[in-house]
Amino acid sequence: MPSHSPPCDIVVLGSLNMDLVMRLPRLPVPGTTTLGGVFAAHPGGKGANQAIQAARLGAATAIVGCVGDDDYGNELREVLLENGVDVEHLHTVPGTTSGIGLIAIDAATGENMIAVASGANLSVDAALAERQSERLRRAKVLLMQSEIPIETNLAAARIAHDAGVLVILNAAPAGDLPDDLLRRVDVLVVNEHEARELAHAPARAPA
C-alpha cells in the first residue's frame, strides 16, 4: 500500500517498553528479597530510545512498532510525540499489554539485571514490515534492534537493502543472527558480550 507520509531521514522498526527501574543497595540473588531501593518508571525500549535520540539530534524520524491498549501504551505514544517522532505507524494492539522492562541496578557498582515481557512488541511481525515497505524504501536509514522477532528484521532488511537504504542493527539482546540478515546489514552495533556470542567465542576469564 502506498504511503502518504512524507519521507523520513530515519525509520526505526522496533520495540517500545515501559522500563520499571529499581536502584538497590545490592542485586538480589535467587530466594532472597532486597529492600531499600528507589523506584522510577521510564518510557523506553531500544526502538523508542533510538527514535527519540535521532529526533532530538534533528533527524526527521518515524517509528514503526506496536504498543498495548493500556496506560503505558498511551504514555509511550505521548513521549514520542513530545520529542518530535512521527507515530503515524505506531499501532495499538487491542487486548495486549505494552512491553515491560524490569531493571534492577546495583547503586554502588552500576551492575544491572534486566527482564523483558515483550507484550505488544511480538505483534511487530514480518507482515507488518511488508505493509510498511513503501515507507522503508523512502527512508535514508533503517534502524532495528533484536527486541522484535528476527523474521521481522529480516523482512525489513531485505526491503531496505534492495532499495539502497542504509541498514543499522543493534544486535541486543544477544543471540544468533542468520547470515541472510547479516549480509543485508551495513552497520552492526554490539557490545563485547554480544560480539563474543555472535562469534561463538568463549567468555573472557575475569582478570
Does residue 163 belong to any structural domain of this protein? yes
CATH number of the domain that 51 lies in? 3.40.1190.20
**pLDDT: which is higher, 102 or 192:** 102
Under DSSP, the state recorded for 98 is P
The count of domains in the chain is: 1
Range of the domain at 186: 10-17+47-97+122-199
What does DSSP say about strands 17-24 and 99-106: parallel, antiparallel, or unpaired?
parallel
Does residue 180 belong to any structural domain of this protein? yes
Q: Tell me the pLDDT tens digit for each residue of 31-80.
A: 999 998 899 999 999 999 999 999 999 999 999 999 999 999 999 999 99
Does residue 166 belong to any structural domain of this protein? yes
The residues, any chain, with a CB within 8 Å of residue 77's CB and separated by 6 or more, are 67, 87, 90
Model confidence, pTM: 0.86
Does residue 25 belong to any structural domain of this protein? no
Does residue 127 belong to any structural domain of this protein? yes
Does residue 37 belong to any structural domain of this protein? no
Cα 145 from Cα 177, distance rounded (Å): 11
The residues, any chain, with a CB within 8 Å of residue 91's CB and separated by 6 or more, are 65, 66, 67, 123, 128
Cα 87 from Cα 77, distance rounded (Å): 7
Does residue 150 belong to any structural domain of this protein? yes
pLDDT of residue 164 exceeding 80: yes
pLDDT of residue 173 exceeding 90: no
Instruction: List the grid coordinates of 25.
Output: 543497595
Find out whether 35 and 47 touch, Cβ atoms under 8 Å. no
Cα 102 from Cα 20, distance rounded (Å): 5
Q: Tell me the pLDDT tens digit for each residue of 139-155.
A: 999 999 998 999 999 99
Does residue 204 belong to any structural domain of this protein? no
